[in-house]
Structure 1
Amino acid sequence: MTEPTKTLCPYCGVGCGLEVLPPAQPGKPTNRDKYGNPIWQVRGDRAHPSSQGMVCVKGATIAEAIDKDRLRHPLIRDSLNDSFRQATWEEALDRITREIQATLATHGPDGICMYGSGQFQTEDYYIAQKLLKGCLGTNNFDANSRLCMSSAVAGYIQSFGSDGPPCCYDDLEQTDCAFLIGTNAAECHPIAFNRLRKYHKRNRHVKMIVVDPRRTATAEAADLHLPIRPGTDIDLLNGIAHLLMQWGCLDLTFLDECTTGFPAYAAILADYPPEVVAERCGIAAEAVELAARYWADSKRVLSLWSMGVNQSSEGTAKVRTLINLHLMTAQIGRPGAGPFSLTGQPNAMGGREAGGLSHLLPGYRLVKNLQHRSELEVQWNLAPGSISPEPGRTVWEMIEGLERSEVGVFWVAATNPVVSLPDLERVKAAMLRSPFTVYQDAYYPTETAAYAHVVLPAAQWGEKTGTMTNSERYVTLCPAFRDPVGSARPDWEIFAEVGRRLGYGTHFDFADSAAVHREFVQLTRDRVCDMTAISYERLRTEGPLRWPCSEITGGVSVPRLYTQLRFPTPDGRARFAAYHSRGLAEPPDPAYPWVLTTGRLYGHWHTMTRTGRIEKTRQMHPQPFIEIHPRDAAQLGIQEESWVEVRSRRGKGRFPAKITTAIAPGTVFVPMHWGSLWADDAEANALMHPEACPDSKQPELKACAVQLAPWTPEESSLDSMASISSPLSMSTTY
């Protein structure tokens, strides 16, 4: 029997362990897809501490896409006929190097931007930071984590003094009350939610509260579902705090010895009695009181949140207001309790550790901190002052820079912004203005590839070796188990080669990814995310290890942060913050009377670059749709499966109706996965606005004001809708 390769699922941040077996096994026929490609066999890894052998449909089918529509060789756009031609790596890298050098001469370092992804391995992230923030002197590296977890990052830093989820998945099975807000974990983080749901079913005393405008699969499992109006999260959280304070459910010793800022927070809570909160949120006052009672009666409260909180113009305020509830009741630092952000992407956590946002540096450091910059300059053997003291451009600021001709090189890797960013028509227009765009991905075609000047083939899952960190801080080694297709290369190797061609050879003299990892973990020494006792050798022999893991911890993984109730702030105390809700950045009005919210579906992932090419997941969700309440549908004369045109101030979309009481009246829902390759006029983010949280810079991708109207497609439109389940083909396969 061939020994399986132990690795990690490359979809969501749950970080499920997988075992991969080669297609050809003794005594067994080789399974092949309809194109004749051998299919690697995938199963759950029972030894992985996070997933314990469980796997969802996406993880189970991951290998089916590994050979489909792969980009095998570099492409360069021919300016004469505006089409791509196959090129060599030498030609493509020379072109990129020349364009970077020219932009440095004309725009300076600020003219160079890179937009990366939580699909990167940590080694990819780290080399990109060293190239841009270190050698090139620009902090213009951002990642699609800006759209995902940046509000959680800001909230943790402001409340506790450092990023880092303080909880672990074992807490899912030790809590008395699970408070889920802005997360459809049953569909978006299914294996973590399965652990919670099984525990909840076995223990009748355990309560589950779900806060969501939709009655999702997650809400169906709850003891209490609070279908609040979009944008009223802070009202609800302050209302619960009002009652907890009124009932005397405070840990006064903890407040006095371990926190600061409580009096200012307490002063605003008088404005949030249950009746006021109920009216603002659109729920019953008794429901607010029951949620507060569940929290008050529980010795161990675990809160879980994701995009519904983070993707908001007041995302950081929401995160901190939720953390306030934990601080006022001392629900942190012990089993079953604490504020736990569920990371959206497989290695968004690794990206945060490696400094993979425009205001961060490796090792949970901040660009604005002089000491942090100096530490990196010494480690990277750079002259003092080499790292810019100003945060770089966020991804939306990169788009604005393209609009103003301030950006000369826009390098996009492992993400698909022409589908995932808000206000897509504006994004597309800006990218058409780009003097030089590099697009680096494993698949072709994608929507973003059409806007590139050079397209680079990246090795993907299973074709390169590196590490990823999941939501509970477990680092897993993901070894290559097959060769890359064509001439595809690992992302970190591409970045390092460009660095060498730009004259920084000694900074990128790495024999392999293990050498990259060894250098990176040294930059975490004495930081909250200390990983200095984690190595490839240990990960191979012992399996996943959770940070902090260092000499201080005896080389042992630490399951929870802040167990001593001291925090990495100057005075060692956690900080309260007092916020009143500002509501939605774009509330409904007579011209646009409905609120559109968006989200994921169980079987698909982000913009379908991978799941759209897998037969089983396509069949699960064959086409986009719009959920609408029966009352709203009757008002508009809309029937089940009839077409609805949705318009915002920025764009339009057309979707078949799904009439359901699972959505609140006045709110409609559209899944965010479909781009122009997969359906016509179904881009949810074409409707969304770019207004963002002032602290985290995370756009409010969860809500905008829209108008609805019945729409009758022409016969030609119906024909195109019939072929939604397969991507449009481009003229040449590479």
Structure 2
Amino acid sequence: MLTLPKQLQKVVPPIRQWEGPKTAELLRSPGKFGLGQVPANLVPDSTTNVVCGFCSTGCGLNVHLKDGQAVSLTPSTQYPVNMGMACPKGWEALTPLEASDRATTPMIRRKRGGDLEAVDWDEAMIQFCEKLKMVQEAHGPESVAFLSTGQIVTEEMAFLGALTKFGMGILHGDGNTRQCMATAVAAYKQSFGFDAPPYTYQDFEESDTIVLVGSNLCIAHPIMWQRIERNQHNPEIIVIDPRKTETAVAATQHYPIAPKSDLVFFYGLANVLISKGWVDDSYIAEHTNDFDAFREHISKFTPEMVSKESGISEEQLLHLAKTIHQGKRVSFWWTMGVNQGHEGTRTAQALINLALMTGNIGRPGTGANSITGQCNAMGSRLFSNTTNLLGGHDFANPQHRQKVADILEIDESCIPTQASWAYDQIIDGIFEGKIKALWVIATNGAHSWIHQDRFKQAMEKLDFLVVQDMYSMTETVAHADLLLPAAAWAEKDGVFINSERRIGPVKKVAIAPGQALSDFNIFRLVARYWGCDDMFRRWTNPENAFKLMASLSEGQPCDFSGINDYRMIDDCGGIQWPCPPDEVEGLENDNERRLFSDGKFFHPDQKAKFLFSEPTPVAEPTDDEFPFVLLTGRGSSAQWHTETRTKKSEVLRKLHPAEIYVEINPKDAQRLKIEPNSKIVVKSRRAEVEVTASVTPSVYPGQLFMPMHYAKMNKLTMGSFDPYSRQPSYKFCAVNVCL
């Protein structure tokens, strides 16, 4: 058994002998934990700007207050992200706060199979600490893990990561951003030297050639699509996607490549560009490494081979290459169709390579641009303390550990010297008996994780499961031994960081129901009851935590140490990182900034790397028993991920089919005698699901499409993972259909 770290050996005597103030007293103390307080610093009947809490676009919303609380909202015309536009989710952003199943008090399940019973915060914290410490003492500190989110404010992410890893001795913790953005993180780190999406949304309006890969922008990020519609350059809009999505229909060119032929296709495209001399030799020589090896590697990806693998003709491939060559400002954009693949990191890097070799990076309207998923996935990538040490630092780097320790005024020996297991490895660790207790914060893995039934089986194997959520009836709460009620977006303060690296404000404009607390204040309580609150004495409120984060970022590529406080963020309409002190003066004239305009990247030699490898087959190819490929993705701009929040809105429910459905090509439907809107069964090697048939040419023969919002969908998906990012491959599994 592992020895407990020293911070766990110095806790207060048995927790039930706690002699400090009772939690209930703490909650009633003005200025302490904020339960039931009217939002501070807001005029009772006024309007204030906040960033939307749904997707990564990060739209600005004007929240209208009456008697100090939110009563309605409208999209902000002044915020540089959306400029007066909002999608259906944005208009309904306040509705989920009023749901009848809000978690309003801590609840505990005293025996397996029993019901959750309401308890006060004192008992909840005592049970939390006693159970987790018992597990650690019996099985070692690494036997407790956490799974977090991209949907809480950055200050809360940072606090959680610091509390668990520095104060509680927990090594393994990951976020649900592993499901959406891990591939982009790995690709950028390896290619550029840091996780650095280089673009600004203004690039949508400056490009003359826009290449969208695995991205149904019209549905997944409608405000970004509206930014494209503002483009005055009559751009070529190229969609590379197996489905004829809404975005593909609106595009000028659509290339319906065979599912998971992406890497071969882009290597072949690069080969055509090189063979035609349509590359920027001077940019390659001055700003990149390993191009010669890349050129040799892709030489075997001939047009004939690529056509056979991808289903795209040689003539089409040449036309695409010529379009890119003729473009003066070409931007490459990707999202989950690339990230959620078994070789997603190398596919993302194939797009990065195309941008580098054509010199389309660092200039307006260019870039190799990953579009983020969750509202604060970028904040999670930098500050969750999971894949990297706070502020994009490296757990394995002694200088980085010492810097973090000095800024936070803690002992450097408290900081782990290695990164955590990834999400899938934590789940495997539960099955292997290495993880015995789990703390889940603001995520619903029993709905969203790949091969869903296996995740649920893992939850039942745990000795103790804590779920911290704003709702009391999610699929994951159904397995919980302890439920901690959390405040929601707009019921707390902090910042989100959106896809274009813009730090934007989240404000407390509503009061959380019952005994619910902000995640930040729940973490403060945990620190106090665990006995490590002195380590976090400076984490008194979110704004103080933000100032610590700004200090941690200093000297990093994401440096925003020039941002002094929340008011500065508000006044500027959000601020993109980097923003060191010497760049603050220019914000008034330049609040749309992109990276790499100087051609300098974040590797020691300041050059980007061409990275590549041999394509690998999918883990589960089709066969006679399972002849269809199941594709998954977003089905409606009115729904969000697992529908945990959006299904609370009657308006949004009306904009999306209530029952799960599958799209099937008319030829396949005719062959199998499937009528439109009939009930059919989709079956994989893991489960079978009854669905409604939607007969449509938007999917090609041999393929099916099912929206991810419905819980049943992830019963079918297979647990296959990219080797570099550990991101699940949601976009391909073999299935069959029957009547």
Query: What TM-score do the two structures reach when normalised by structure 1?
Result: 0.91
Residues 23-102 of structure 1 aligned to structure 2 (within 5 Å): 40-68=71-99, 69-79=101-111, 82-102=114-134
Distance 1:242 1:60, change over 3 A: same
| Aligned CA-pair RMSD | 1.7
Deviations 1:357-399 (A, max 9, x none): x321111123333332232233333333432222212121121
Shift of 1:338: 0.4
Aligned to 1:421: 449
Do the aligned partners of 2:280 and 2:357 also contact (CA within 8 Å) in 1? yes
Q: CA deviation at 1:643?
A: 1.4
What are the superposed Cα offsets for residues 420-462 of structure 1, whole Å, 9 maximum, x if unpaired? 0011111111111111111111112111101000001100011
Deviations along 1:230-254, one digit per CA (max 9) or x if unpaired, are 1011111111111110111121121
Structure 2 partner of 1:380: 408
Paired residue for 2:198, among 141, 160, 166? 166
1:169-208 correspondence runs (5 A): 169-199=201-231, 202-204=232-234, 206-208=235-237
Which among 397, 408, 412 is matched to residue 369 of structure 1? 397
Aligned residues with identical type, % of pairs: 35
SS of 2:94 mapped into structure 1? helix
- Stretches of structure 2 that go unaligned for 5 or more consecutive residues are 1-43
Select which of 657, 660, 665 maps to 1:624.
660
State how far apart, in whole Å, the 2-side matches of 1:212 and 1:395 are.
Answer: 27
Partner Cα distance (1:290, 1:136) in 2: 57
- Give the secondary-structure state (helix, strand or coil) at the position aligned to 1:265: helix
Query: The residue matched to 2:78 in structure 1 has which SS?
Result: coil
Q: Which runs of 4+ in 1 moved over 4 A?
A: none
What is aligned with 2:328? 299
Give the secondary structure class of the aligned counterpart of 1:374: helix
For 1:564 and 1:277, locate their aligned partners in 2 and report how far apart those are by CA, in whole Å. Answer: 35
Q: Deviations over 1:618-637 (max 9, x none)?
A: 11112221000011112211
Using the TM superposition, give the Cα deviation of residue 39 of structure 1 relative to its aligned residue in structure 2, in angstroms. 7.9
CA distance in 1 between partners of 2:145 and 2:504 (Å): 29
In the other structure, the counterpart of 1:553 is 583
Correspondence list, 1:516-535, <5 A: 516-534=545-563, 535=565
> Is 2:633 aligned against 1:590?
no
Look up the SS of the partner of 2:505 in the other structure. Answer: strand
Deviation at 1:23, TM superposition (A): 5.9
Cα pair 1:23 1:41 within 8 Å, conserved: no
Which 10-residue stretch deviates more, 399-408 or 288-297?
A: 399-408
Deviation for aligned residue 1:222: 0.8
Aligned to 1:542: 572
Q: Partner of 2:145: helix, strand, or coil?
A: strand
What residue is the counterpart of 2:17 in the other structure? none
Which segment is superposed worse, 103-112 or 297-306?
103-112
Per-residue Cα deviation, 1:647-704 (whole angstroms, up to 9, x for no partner): 11111211100011110111100011122xxxxxxx1111111110111000101111
Does residue 678 of structure 2 align to residue 642 of structure 1?
Answer: yes
| Aligned amino acid, residue 13 of structure 1 | S
Q: Deviation of residue 80 (structure 1)?
A: 7.1
Structure 1 residue 602, shift from structure 2 partner? 1.5
Q: Which residue of 2 aligns with 1:395?
A: 423
* Distance of aligned partners of 1:374 and 1:324 in 2 relative to their CA distance in 1, 3 Å threshold: same
Q: Secondary structure at the match of 1:650?
A: coil
Deviation at 1:546, TM superposition (A): 1.1
Q: CA separation in 2, counterparts of 1:233 and 1:22?
A: 49
Aligned twin of 1:9:
52
Which of 696, 701, 704 is the matching residue for 1:668? 704
Match of 1:475 among 493, 500, 503: 503
Letter of the 2:64 partner, please give it: L
- For 1:519-578, what per-residue CA distance to the aligned partner results, in whole angstroms no more than 9, with x for missing partners? 111100011111111221312333311111112324545711111101110111100012
What corresponds to 1:136 in structure 2?
168
- Partner secondary structure for residue 271 of structure 1: coil
Gaps of at least 5 residues in structure 1 are: 26-37, 676-682, 711-734
Cα distance in 2, alignment partners of residues 23 and 674 from structure 1: 36
Moved more, 436-445 or 101-110: 101-110
1:275 Cα deviation after fit: 2.3
Cα distance in 1 for residues equivalent to 2:437 and 2:466: 8
1:595–1:666 contact (8 Å) kept in structure 2: yes
Larger mean Cα displacement after TM superposition, 688-697 or 266-275: 266-275
Matched residue SS, 1:40: strand
Question: CA contact under 8 A between 1:355 and 1:364: conserved in structure 2?
Answer: no
In structure 1, the partner of 2:152 is: 120
Per the alignment, in what secondary structure is the counterpart of residue 76 of structure 1? strand
Aligned to 2:642: 607
Aligned AA for 2:705?
F
1:452 to 1:276, Cα distance in 2 relative to 1, 3 A? same
Change (3 A) 1:214 1:110: same
Residues 182-219 of structure 1 show CA distances to partners (whole Å, capped at 9, x for unaligned) of 111110011011111332xx433x11100111111111
1:497 equivalent in alignment to 2:532: no
The structure 1 residue matched to 2:339, chosen from 310, 319, 325, is 310
Q: Supply the AA of the counterpart residue of 2:125.
A: L
Contact 1:113/1:407, CA 8 A, preserved across alignment = yes
- Give the conservation status (yes or no) of the 8 Å contact 1:197–1:221: no
Given that 2:55 and 2:375 are in contact with CA atoms closer than 8 Å, whether structure 1 keeps it comes out as yes
Question: Paired residue for 1:581?
Answer: 615
Q: Distance in 2 between matches of 1:24 and 1:567?
A: 50
Alpha carbons 1:359, 1:368 under 8 Å: kept: no
- The residue identity in structure 2 corresponding to 1:631 is K
Aligned position for 1:348: 377
Following TM superposition, by how much is the alpha carbon of 1:40 offset from its aligned partner in structure 2, in angstroms? Answer: 2.4
CA distance in 2, matches of 1:167, 1:139: 33
Greater Cα offset, 549-558 or 90-99: 549-558
Deviation of residue 273 (structure 1)?
2.2
Please, which of 579, 586, 597 is the counterpart of residue 563 of structure 1?
597
CA distance in 2: counterparts of 1:71 and 1:385, whole angstroms: 37
Report if the CA contact (8 A) 2:562-2:582 is conserved. Answer: no
Cα distance in 2, alignment partners of residues 653 and 366 from structure 1: 43
Counterpart residue identity of residue 242, structure 1: N
Mapped pair 1:148 → 2:180: yes
Given the alignment of the two structures, is residue 103 of structure 1 paired with residue 135 of structure 2, yes or no? yes
Q: Measure the CA separation in 1 of the matches of 2:381 and 2:75.
A: 26
Please state how far the C-alpha of 1:81 moved relative to its aligned partner.
6.0
1:464 aligns with: 492
| Rounded Cα–Cα distance in structure 1 between residues aligned with 2:535 and 2:574 | 29
Listed one character per residue, the Cα deviations across residues 315-364 of structure 1 (whole Å, up to 9, x for unaligned) are 111111110001111111111000111100000011112144x3211111
Of 259, 265, 283, the match for 2:312: 283
Aligned counterparts of 1:81 and 1:690: Cα–Cα separation in 2:
28
C-alpha separation between the residues in 1 aligned to 2:370 and 2:409?
35
User: What secondary structure does 2:553 align onto?
Assistant: coil
Moved more, 105-114 or 51-60: 105-114
Q: Which residue pairs with 1:274 in the alignment?
A: 303
Q: Is this contact kept in 2: 1:134–1:377, CA < 8 A?
A: no
1:319 matches 2:348 = yes
Q: Are residues 1:709 and 2:734 paired?
A: no
In 2, the alpha carbon distance for the partners of 1:170 and 1:294 equals 22
Amino acid at match of 2:118: Q
Residues 185 and 193, structure 1, Cα contact 8 Å, conserved in 2: yes
Q: Provide closer, same or farther for how the CA distance between residues 226 and 372 of structure 1 changes in structure 2, counting only shifts above 3 A.
A: same
SS in 1 for 2:299: helix
